[in-house]
């Protein structure tokens, strides 16, 4: 696309217009976009066209990108998929957004998501579910479901998502696109509405592995606004997409290919591994013994952090506020009724506490409330050591499993998800089954390592996309891109 722009065979305005046409035709059904910046995107495209003609275009000049609702942009609403922030307008740009703009990307709109990134299906959005472009009766995955669906449906070139337990990679798998979660600290979290701060990461969803590497080059690097961001040198990630896998050591953990993996999904992933081996990769059998407790560990630690992070939404400084007058009137009526009956009103909440409670009750959805309550419980007196403290120790053991494994291999391979996209409503009444859809992705977040999902092909029975995941040591994103691009070539018949 960039070459066509530079040759004058295309213009950024034409590209934006084409995407806007696609959005208009499909978004009422898919609901991938929550906001579309029609006029602003066209105006920006005209400016970028002039910069390209003058030879001053940035690294992403002309790239049309959507931004997940959890990543703030100055002057635009950032709802995080929640009624709590339905009318919240950001006064600053997230660092990731600013870096895209500095390299002349064109932001076309904002993407639907599970509320506060808590979900695996984008059914938890307060503004309605997103649907999978391959089958609109199925979910796109979550929480970055809108981001994945938009790329799959050709509504933009790429999107930004966030990944706390698999929220970039799992929807990438379900929608048949590439999704990259960088090493924790590789990309600044400044301007990402927090879910679980020690897990959260911003990354790209793209059509190709090379594009993911190119966008990562722009996003990565130290940021003075984020103390957890790394000052490590940013590498030429996109270049790694052209490298052979000959000599690449691929770890094959037995825990990721056992019970719970749907048969045809496992068969297709194994086929791609065998094809990589035929092209010179070296497959190394591995064991990651603490995998069996990864889900439990994650849902203790992440919910504890969510309980803490979401305490700020009290309806006072910003966010949804309940009707203060009605809260006061209801309290006064309740007091009078108790007093008239000769009862004790000393245990009643104050009007302020009532306002907090009512605002949070109205503003948060069911899944967010569930996770806040679980997180508050594991942090509470008498349970902190038994749950939160123990989970932190197990997190270190999980990280050690990966450190030891990477002494034997360069990347670790697994399915991205146990199966293909499930039907809308299929798992909403069974939270545990919903959580298990992230069983292969969560460990990377616990260990803080980078991981990527790339399409492995189509399922033999239902024809839906199947993703294959690669994980690598900290800051070894080039190895991920090298392996993922090799699979991409296999799927496209280019190798």
d(Cα 445, Cα 140) in Å, to the nearest integer? 21
Catalytic annotation present for 359 = no
Catalytic annotation present for 167 = yes
Q: Which of 27, 49, 45, 44 is nearest to 36 (CA)?
A: 27
Residue 310 has φ and ψ, to the nearest 5°, of -85, 0
Tell me the per-residue pLDDT of 371-402, one tens digit each, with 9 for 90 and over.
999 999 999 999 999 999 999 999 999 999 99
The domain spans of the chain are 2-291+404-491, 319-363
Helix (H) or strand (E) holding 155: none
Catalytic annotation present for 68 = yes
Contacts with 166 (C-beta within 8 Å, 6 or more apart), sequence order: 120, 181, 416, 438, 440, 441, 442, 444, 445
Which has more confidence, 31 or 259?
Answer: 31
pLDDT band (50, 70, 90) for residue 302: very high
Contacts with 350 (C-beta within 8 Å, 6 or more apart), sequence order: none
**Joined tokens for residue 303:** 């919910």
d(Cα 125, Cα 121) in Å, to the nearest integer? 9
Q: Give the three-class secondary structure for 123.
A: coil
Whether the pTM exceeds 0.95: the reply is: yes
- Region 37-61 average pLDDT: 97
The residue assigned the tokens 């970028």 is: 48
Catalytic residue among 11, 120, 121, 143: 143
d(Cα 336, Cα 353) in Å, to the nearest integer? 18
pLDDT band (50, 70, 90) for residue 129: very high
Helix, strand, coil distribution of the chain in percent, nearest 5: 45, 15, 40
Instruction: Supply the pLDDT for residue 349.
Output: 93
Looking at the predicted structure, is the pLDDT value of residue 443 above 90? yes
d(Cα 1, Cα 428) in Å, to the nearest integer? 40
- Region 135-144 average pLDDT: 98
With contact defined as beta carbons under 8 Å apart, do 139 and 31 qualify?
Answer: no
Instruction: Supply the pLDDT for residue 318.
Output: 87
Tell me the per-residue pLDDT of 60-73, one tens digit each, with 9 for 90 and over.
999 999 999 999 99
In the CATH scheme, what is the code of domain 2-291+404-491? 3.90.1300.10
Instruction: Supply the pLDDT for residue 317.
Output: 87
- Using CA atoms, how far residue 256 sits from 102, 191, 441, 443, in Å, is 40, 34, 10, 11
- Region 93-110 average pLDDT: 98
Q: How many CA atoms lie within 13 A of 438 on its CB side?
A: 31
Catalytic residue among 82, 147, 167, 230: 167
């Amino acid at each position: 696309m960039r070459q066509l722009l530079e040759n004058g065979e295309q213009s950024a305005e034409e590209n934006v217009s084409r995407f806007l046409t696609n959005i208009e035709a499909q978004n009422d059904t898919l609901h991938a976009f929550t906001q579309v910046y029609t006029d602003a995107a066209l105006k920006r495209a005209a400016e970028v066209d002039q910069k390209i003609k003058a030879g001053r275009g940035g690294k992403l000049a002309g790239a049309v990108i959507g931004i997940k609702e959890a990543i703030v942009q100055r002057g635009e609403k950032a709802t995080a998929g929640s009624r709590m922030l339905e009318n919240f307008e950001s006064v600053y740009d997230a660092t990731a957004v600013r870096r895209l703009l500095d390299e002349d990307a064109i932001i076309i709109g904002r993407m639907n998501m599970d509320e506060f990134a808590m979900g695996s299906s984008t059914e938890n959005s307060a503004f309605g579910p997103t649907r999978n472009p391959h089958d609109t009766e199925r979910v796109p995955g979550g929480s970055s479901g809108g981001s994945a669906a938009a790329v799959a449906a050709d509504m933009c070139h790429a999107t930004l998502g966030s990944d706390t337990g698999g929220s970039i990679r799992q929807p990438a798998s379900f929608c048949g696109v590439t999704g990259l979660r960088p090493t924790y600290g590789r990309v600044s979290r400044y301007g990402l509405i927090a879910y679980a701060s020690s897990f959260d990461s911003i990354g790209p969803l793209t059509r190709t592995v090379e594009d993911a590497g190119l966008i990562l080059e722009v996003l990565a690097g130290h940021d003075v606004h984020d103390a957890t961001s790394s000052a490590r040198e940013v590498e030429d990630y996109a270049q790694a997409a052209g490298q052979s896998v000959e000599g690449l050591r691929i770890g094959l953990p037995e825990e990721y290919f056992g019970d719970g993996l749907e048969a045809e999904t496992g068969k297709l992933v194994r086929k791609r591994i065998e094809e990589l081996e035929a092209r010179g990769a070296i497959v190394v059998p591995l064991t990651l013994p603490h995998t069996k407790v990864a889900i439990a560990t994650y849902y203790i630690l992440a919910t504890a952090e969510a309980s803490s992070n979401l305490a700020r939404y009290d309806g006072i400084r910003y966010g949804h506020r309940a009707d203060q007058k009605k809260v006061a009137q209801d309290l006064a009526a309740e007091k009078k009724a108790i007093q008239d009956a000769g009862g004790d009103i000393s245990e009643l909440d104050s009007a302020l506490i009532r306002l907090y409670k009512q605002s949070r009750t109205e503003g948060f959805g069911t899944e967010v409330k569930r996770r806040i309550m679980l997180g508050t419980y594991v942090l509470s007196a008498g349970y902190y050591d038994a749950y939160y403290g123990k989970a932190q120790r197990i997190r270190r053991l999980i990280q050690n499993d990966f450190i030891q494994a990477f002494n034997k291999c360069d990347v670790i391979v697994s399915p991205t998800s146990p199966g293909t996209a499930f039907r809308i409503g299929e798992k909403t009444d069974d939270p545990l089954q919903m959580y298990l859809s992230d069983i292969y992705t969560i460990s990377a977040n616990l260990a803080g390592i980078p991981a990527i999902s790339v399409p492995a092909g189509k399922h033999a029975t239902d024809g839906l996309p199947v993703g294959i995941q690669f994980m690598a040591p900290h800051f070894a994103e080039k190895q991920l891109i090298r392996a993922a691009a090799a699979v991409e070539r296999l799927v496209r018949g280019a190798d």
